[in-house]
Structure 1
Amino acid sequence: MTQQKVIITGGAGVLGAAVAKSFLAAGHRVTVVDHAPAPAAVTDGLLHLGGVDLTDEAAARTAFLQAKVAMGGADVVVNVAGGFRWQTVAEGDPATWEKLFALNARTCLNMCRAAIVPEGEGGLANGGAIVNVGAAAAEKAGAGMGAYAASKAAVARLTESLATELGGRIRVNAVLPLVMDTPQNRADMPDVDPKTWTATAAVADAIVFLASRAARAINGALIPVTAPTAD
């Protein structure tokens, strides 16, 4: 497998860390970009860029260029950064809608815009890939999921539109997880059997596949990753 140079947003979170681990295990170089400070510990093949506000387009562009310079190129961007909040429309705060659109849609848009400029002007290599993290809930939202689902629906439409715009020069796809087995979800839903959820490692594996040459004919796809997994 040809080594890829991969930029992952939201890499300090549970899913982002799982994605970084999967790419590293496959022999790729990885830069993690996150709002959280970079950890003191250093992992071989992994660079952390901390304290980055990806809702700011200039900051996202700067982080992308820093990562590309550090790795000597960039082939893949994985947009994991985002947030979640459950609230009903009737009793919720409209500001939550703005916050979730900023965390889920704007961060994704900003990093995509940084990645799609021509390679010679600092963008991804031709033939590169963008993989966005959407949500299965964006296809049909339940009670209290309006703001989150709407922001993730924006990610889905961005994925489809950008894939068409780029015409295959850079492939753009998204994974659509349902409920993932994370410590936060276990704490929030103690009465639900986590064996019915999807492991973050399984979602990460799907992302690594979509970034690979094996998925070279897949473009503009929204892939549900929702089956229960034992790992």
Structure 2
Amino acid sequence: MSSPGCALLLGATGVLGTAITRYLSTKKGMERMILVGRDQKKLRDLAATVSGEALTVETVHLPSTLEAYSTLGARIPAGTVDLLVIPMGFHQPSPLGTAPKRLETILFANLMGPLVAIHQIAPGMSRGSVVLFGDAMANRPMAGFSAYYAAKAALQSLVSSLSSELAPNIRINALLPGIMNIKPVAPPDASKRWSGKVPLGYLGGNEPLLLSLDLLLENNYLTGSLLTVDGGASTAPV
């Protein structure tokens, strides 16, 4: 794939979003990036670290609400975006009795936000690629996280549904991370405990995710694909 002119990232200031922003700015020859997030200061700070002579970086402060995301199409003109990457979402419990507002927050971050963003931006893309982020364990969910895993399972189904609708000029794929060590500082005991659940024996960090992202960007024959990046955890015996 030739380097896209403009990348739009939603959830840019999260741990994974920040890593992807820096990767795209240094490795993919981007000409322009639009970073979207909830924290205005973090957006400005991130933009300052990646912008340069050959790269224009803009920021869009966007609250995590349906109303705010419904304005994306109006705020970003048609024909602007070539690459839409949505590493937003978070893994939070929702045991029985969880307040409806909390359920709504989890579902928005992991499903409705990305869905609305695609409906707002994709019609204005003449070509390019969309990359979503699911979860390798969506088909083997942990108890007490029903809202999160239901949202991720639906998001992964969305990739299949939209691949035909967006073809032939726009591709859509998803990375499915497993148990990863992407935080700057992780408790050693937690890392050791979770590593025992991964057949490869260790927790992957940002590098395997970025290498997998590169594959989805560079292989122009991939669309509707779910790429699992979990060291074999999702296929290990229970």
Q: TM-score range by the shorter chain?
A: 0.7 to 0.9
Alpha-carbon offset, residue 145 of structure 1 = 2.2
Aligned to 2:173, the other structure's residue is in SS state: strand
- Which structure 2 residues correspond to residues 1-40 of structure 1 after superposition, within 5 A? 2-4=2-4, 5-26=6-27, 27-29=29-31, 30-37=33-40, 38-40=43-45
Q: Where does 1:33-48 land on structure 2 (aligned, <5 Å)? A: 33-37=36-40, 38-40=43-45, 42=48, 43=50, 44=52, 45=55, 47-48=57-58
In structure 1, C-alpha distance between the alignment counterparts of 2:166 and 2:74, rounded to whole Å: 22
The equivalent of 1:200 in structure 2 is 206
> Does the Cα contact within 8 Å between 1:36 and 1:50 map onto a contact in 2?
no
- TM superposition shift of 1:157: 1.2
Unpaired segments of 5 or more residues in structure 2?
196-201, 233-238
Q: Which residue of 2 aligns with 1:120?
A: none
Corresponding residue number in structure 1 for 2:157: 157
TM-score, normalised relative to structure 1: 0.81
Amino acid aligned to 1:34: G
Question: Match for 1:53: what amino acid?
Answer: P
Report the Cα distance in structure 2 between the residues aligned to 1:93 and 1:137, rounded to whole angstroms: 24
User: 2:162 is matched by which residue type in structure 1?
Assistant: L
Structure 1, unmatched stretches of 5+, are 118-122
User: In the alignment, what sits opposite 1:133?
Assistant: 133
The corresponding residue for 2:72 is 60
CA distances 1:63-98 after superposition (whole Å, capped 9, x unpaired): 443xx78xxx32110011112212433x53343322
Distance 1:80 1:191 in 2: 23
1:116 matches 2:119: no
Aligned to 1:85: 92
Hey, what's the Cα distance between the residues in 1 that align with 2:9 and 2:24?
10
What SS does structure 2 have at the residue aligned with 1:155?
A: helix
Identify if the C-alpha distance between structure 1 residues 93 and 186 changes in structure 2 by more than 3 Å, giving closer, same or farther. Answer: farther
Summarize deviations over 1:152-203 as a string: whole Å, max 9, x none. Answer: 111111111011222332111101001221338825x843327622212321
Letter in 1 for 2:102: T
* CA displacement at 1:13 relative to structure 2: 0.7
Please tell me whether the aligned partners of residues 94 and 103 of structure 2 are also in contact (alpha carbons under 8 angstroms): no
Distance 1:142 1:207, change over 3 A: same
How many residue pairs are counted as aligned between the two chains?
Answer: 213
Partners of 1:96 and 1:84 lie apart in 2 by 12
Do the aligned partners of residues 130 and 147 (structure 1) sit closer, same or farther apart at CA in structure 2, a change above 3 Å counting?
same
Q: Is the 8 Å Cα contact of residues 131 and 173 (structure 1) preserved in structure 2? A: yes
Instruction: Kindly state the Cα deviation for residue 220 of structure 1 after the two structures are TM-superposed.
Output: 0.4
Partner residue of 1:100? 106
CA RMSD of aligned residues (A): 2.5
Equivalent position SS for 2:155: helix
C-alpha separation between the residues in 2 aligned to 1:186 and 1:17?
17
Secondary structure class of the residue paired with 1:192: helix
TM-score by length of 2: 0.79
